[in-house]
Amino acid sequence: MTFPNQPDKHTNESILKAGDIVSYRAHLGRMPGLHSPQGALFCLERGLPRRMRWRVPVRKAGSMNADLHETKRTKTPVAILTNFGGGAPIVAELAEELVVMGLRKLILMTWGGTLQPDLEPGHIVVCNRAIRDDGTSYHYLPPGKYVDADAALVEKIASAVQSRGGETSTGVTWTTDAPYRETRAEVEQYQSEGVKVVEMESSGLFTIGQVRGVQTASVVVVMDSLASFEWKAPKQLGGIMRSLELVYQAAIDVLGGS
């Protein structure tokens, strides 16, 4: 797989860096009011911090191309990002800025489609590797099929999900930029390789983890299915929402040091 017009661009210095944006934001007095968190949770279910505030108290901490909340009662504060859209480019951009701000552990929680017929809606997949069918990762790394999550963080989040009673497995995700271009040939290939789910962000986050030397992991809650080579939507969302709430709490357990 190749992407950029200059295949070796990952070896070249960038003109604009995340540190420039963070410094400029500070100069304008627009930095989020965070209390030195070590970890951040990218939460694509934007309503969760408010809905879960009775179990996980949070406060609004500002914004930076995402709405930021911070936990109140964890051993160490956890930054929670919501309302940033989706896809590898924005997750990588935000992750770059968080690393400059001193955060060292980044977890993504999202929903996705299953490629395997035995995975039902609400099943939780902790992703240890992503297929790089995005564009962002090729600006940072040499061409290649996979990018890996941090093994230690994967183990911790999987254990935390299981300790809360979540039905979980660990495996590979397919990250794509084009959800309306997931073809039968691709699904057949990845299904035969044992790839569990498809989503749009993990490879971008894992790439920043690898390049910037921080820990990253992602958790996908199964929503819809491509396993039968047609799109199947869930009949109801209750179990999916319960799994999202469980993952949210488990991720904060890990990032907050409880």
Residue among 248, 244, 245, 197 nearest 225 (CA):
197
Q: Please give the pLDDT value at position 1.
A: 53
Q: How many residues does the chain have?
A: 258
Residue among 159, 74, 150 nearest 108 (CA):
150
- List the domains of the chain with CATH numbers: 16-256 (3.40.50.1580)
Q: Tens of pLDDT along the chain (258 residues)?
A: 556 677 788 889 999 999 999 999 999 999 999 999 999 999 999 999 999 999 999 999 999 999 999 999 899 999 999 999 999 999 999 999 999 999 999 999 999 999 999 999 999 999 999 999 999 999 999 999 999 999 999 999 999 999 999 989 999 999 999 999 999 999 999 999 999 999 999 999 999 999 999 999 999 999 999 999 999 999 999 999 999 999 999 999 999 986
Distance CA 185, CA 205 (A): 26
What separation in angstroms does the CA of 36 have from each of 29, 41, 60, 103, 256?
17, 14, 15, 8, 12
Whole-model pTM: value is 0.95
E-only strand ranges, the chain: 39-43, 58-63, 67-71, 78-82, 105-114, 124-133, 146-148, 168-176, 197-199, 215-225
Q: Please give the pLDDT value at position 3.
A: 63
Q: Please give the pLDDT value at position 15.
A: 95
Q: Please give the pLDDT value at position 8.
A: 84
Q: Please give the pLDDT value at position 246.
A: 97
